[in-house]
Amino acid sequence: MGMPIKDEMIDLYNKMSNEDKMFMIELMAKDISVPVYVEHERGEYCYVNSLDEQVPVYLNGTSLQLKLDESIKIDKWK
């Protein structure tokens, strides 16, 4: 019996280059959303952004940076 899948994934991740990681995020981009909380005079808003469909991630020096979709949808009021 081999390693548990989580251990295999961690091992694979540690072997990946930034280009490989970008590719993986591009594959998962449709499943990723980013909540952004904003305080306003009328209360606190939670905006839910998707990743950009065409360029969801790019290299920023030696790290990866996510690019959010320009459209913002109000998820809820607090």
In 1-78, where does DSSP find H-type helix?
A: 5-15, 18-28
Q: Is 52 left (phi over 0), alpha (psi -120 to 50) or beta?
A: beta
Provide the CA 10 distance to its chain's centre, in angstroms: 18
The confidence score (pLDDT) of residue 44 equals 79
Does position 76 have pLDDT exceeding 80, yes or no? no
The confidence score (pLDDT) of residue 59 equals 93
pTM: 0.71
Query: What are the structural domain ranges in the chain?
Result: 5-77
73-77 and 43-50 strand pairing:
antiparallel
pLDDT per position as a tens digit, 8-63:
999 999 999 999 999 999 999 999 998 888 777 777 778 888 999 899 999 998 89
